Amino acid sequence: MVLAVAAVVLYCGCDDIGVEPSDEVPVLSNPWTSYDSDTRQFFASVTLTLPADVASLDSIWTEFYLAIPPDTAADTALTSYGLVDDATYGDILLGDGVYSRQFDSPLLADEPAPVRFTFYAQVDDSLYQTADTWNLPPVITAISAADSLPIPSGPPPDYTLDYLTATVEDPNSLDDIRSVSFTVLKPDGTLSNKGQPLYMADNGEDAFGDAVAGDGIYSLIIMLDNSTAAGAHVYRFTAEDYSGAVSDTVKHTVVLY
């Protein structure tokens, strides 16, 4: 679904604010974007450096694009936002040369990703720009796991089986999900498996306990032996896509007895 929004450029009066002269040409560097899934807000910032013979800039802003498909010319401009360096609108430090803005996401809940921010600075008769692409991360929508399990009384091959599933969605389609994994925090505060994540599968194979391949439900069967410590074990699940964007962590506690 494509969200059609009229693009409105908000120009900021930034004269003599937050810019230190340099001997270099005007430059935009260190573009940075992030997203808070709880508040559904984006944060965008870029560093501005001006030459020694320029005391101020005319305007600086970012334009927000939705790439459909990604990395092609078929980009849809959604809207634009003026950037500030005065510690307002989410800008962190006054006058540090980093121009920022925090704003509500213009995307619908089912909007595809990734998105791109293009940063612009107008200085005298010259327009400078740089860009940053940000991919909306996958979301773990459900976890299925036991709340409590008995520890086997005998040695291997006596095992207790723990069947785990994680339902995952990605705004850019299920094909964009690279991996789903979890770590286990033991009752003594250390991590099992030497801290390495355990990877789940969506391949339809019985060995993983997965029912249907490619349906976004990732599965894994864990075998617990009699060396497993009793008490509360905290599973911490995350999903990662091919851009490197990582979901929020979802926790589940199982009590072994």
Closest alpha carbon to 8 in 74, 77, 60, 75? 77
Strands (DSSP E) along 26-113, which ranges? 27-36, 41-51, 59-67, 75-82, 98-104
CATH code where residue 72 lies? 2.60.40.10
Residue 36 shares a structural domain with residue 128? yes
- State the burial class of residue 100 (Cβ atoms within 10 Å of its Cβ: 0-12, 13-18, 19+): buried
CATH code where residue 206 lies? 2.60.40.2550
Residue 120 shares a structural domain with residue 145? no
Mean pLDDT of the chain: 83
Between CA 218 and CA 168 the distance in angstroms is 8
6 located within any domain: no
Q: Which pLDDT tens digit goes with each residue over 150-175? A: 999 988 889 999 999 999 998 778 98
Last residue of a domain, one of 70, 101, 134: 134
Which stretches of the chain drop beneath a pLDDT of 70? Answer: 1-26, 55, 67-77, 109-114
Between CA 128 and CA 133 the distance in angstroms is 17
Output the pLDDT for position 47: 93
* Report field, pTM of the whole predicted structure over 0.75: no
51 located within any domain: yes
Output the pLDDT for position 21: 42
125 located within any domain: yes
Tokens of 256: 């072994």
Last residue of a domain, one of 134, 158, 184: 134
Could you list the residue range(s) of the whole structural domain that residue 64 is in? 21-134
Output the pLDDT for position 36: 81
Output the pLDDT for position 124: 80
Output the pLDDT for position 149: 96
